[in-house]
Amino acid sequence: MHKYLLPVALLYTGLITWLSLGKIIIPGNIAVQGSDKIGHLLAYFVFTIIWFLFFFYSERQKRRFFESLWISSLAGFLYGILMEFCQAIFTDYRSPDWYDFIANTSGIILSVCVLSVLQKKLVKKRRY
């Protein structure tokens, strides 16, 4: 499992990049108000957890729990900011949105809470 953590993290990061910068057309123009923000929250929740798993369980990294949590959270936060700036700079069909940034950050905070609650189980699993 450990050897797949980096490719999974990179693929997921690529997916977020594509979703953030790509011109995505939804057939029928179906939109539920606020669903975009829920998508941002979930995307960065998963982003932070995947990168945490890489930093914490990777044979090459061997980082402590809170160090892994801090690095993955900071990476998610900075990446979210980067994607909002890239939308403004590289696209004419997307624009940065502070509410997206808030949703991204909320997803990161939620993942930190979940991982902190699961800390003992995650540390125990690492020992085996």
pLDDT tens by residue, the chain, 128 residues: 578 999 999 999 999 999 899 887 666 656 556 668 999 999 999 999 999 999 999 877 678 999 999 999 999 999 999 999 999 999 888 888 899 999 999 999 999 999 999 999 999 988 75
pLDDT of amino acid 11: 97
In the prediction, which pLDDT does 108 show? 98
Structure tokens at 58: 């990777």
pTM: 0.88
Contact 59, 124 (CB under 8 A): no
* Residue 68, pLDDT score: 95
CB distance 21 to 83 below 8 Å? yes
Among candidate residues 52, 67, 56, 59, the one with its CA nearest the CA of residue 110: 52
Handedness of CA 113, 116, 117, 121 (dihedral sign): positive
d(CA 49, CA 33): 26
What is the widest separation between alpha-carbon atoms in the chain? 50
